[in-house]
Structure 1
Amino acid sequence: MAIYREKDVFERRNAAHEAKKALLERFRAKPAADDPAVLARQAERKAILEARAIREAEKARLKQEKLAREAAEKAEREAAEEAARAEAKIREAEENERIARLLADEAERKAKRDARYAARKQRTGRTPPGFSAR
């Protein structure tokens, strides 16, 4: 069985020094800007950005089309509702006119009946209380 041995200060310092050296070497080994691999990566990134821009433009166009379609549908719905309201208004006016004619006819019949009743009472010579004969 292995015995765990804690590292002392010098070992930790040397390990940190080696890690910093490795990091510095990796930074120094970075390829130049005119390296073909770097140029290829830049071209790939540029192609990705262009594709993204095309997708976003297409998405915006589709969104505008959808908004236009929804606006047209809303306008169509509102026109249909307006037509329905106008038709309902016409039906209501016709119904009110019919009711007014019925009430006028009823009032005319009542007036004729009252006139007959008054004429009959006048022939008999008696006027009921609260009723004035003409």
Structure 2
Amino acid sequence: MKRVKGESLTDRLSSAAAAKKALAASFQKKISDPELAERRAANLAVAREREERLAQRSAEKEAEEIRRTAEEAAAAAARTEQEAAEKERLLAEQKAARDARYAARKARQRP
């Protein structure tokens, strides 16, 4: 690093301290700026709205999932009921056919 002639350690330390103070003053000035406060407030409002929208979407998705689950359960119940009715109808047909065969056999045995 190139040194400037005539600059001693104390000169460099004091210039570094002055630079720190200037930087701190710059930040303090920005912090107390009313325009910055307004932008922060606007950003916070936008963030809150975004969180509300996300919460609403989440609630809508959950409601949709519950509705879909209920529909699937209803469809499964209807399908099970239909299968049970079909099985009962088939058993009734088989019993009727068996009874008809039995009656035919008995009719052949009684001349």
Q: TM-score, normalised by structure 2?
A: 0.71
Partner of 1:128 in structure 2? none
Equivalence map 1:30-109=2 (5 Å): 38=29, 41-42=31-32, 43-109=34-100
Partner of 1:22 in structure 2? 15
Superposed displacement of residue 99, structure 1: 0.4
Q: Per chain length, whose mean CA-contact separation is higher, i.e. which structure has more relative contact order (CA < 8 Å, sep 6+)?
A: 1
Partner of 1:124 in structure 2? none
Superposed displacement of residue 44, structure 1: 3.7
Output the CA distance in 1 between the equivalents of 2:91 and 2:15. 103
Superposed displacement of residue 16, structure 1: 6.5
Unaligned runs of 5+ in 2: none
Output the CA distance in 2 between the equivalents of 1:16 and 1:79. 82
RMSD between aligned alpha carbons?
3.1
Larger Rg: 1
Q: TM-score, normalised by structure 1?
A: 0.61
Output the CA distance in 1 between the equivalents of 2:60 and 2:93. 49
Output the CA distance in 2 between the equivalents of 1:94 and 1:47. 70
Output the CA distance in 1 between the equivalents of 2:7 and 2:81. 94
- The structure richer in helix per residue is 2
Output the CA distance in 2 between the equivalents of 1:46 and 1:21. 33
Among the aligned pairs, what percent are the same residue? 19
Output the CA distance in 2 between the equivalents of 1:29 and 1:64. 44
SS in 2 for 1:53: helix
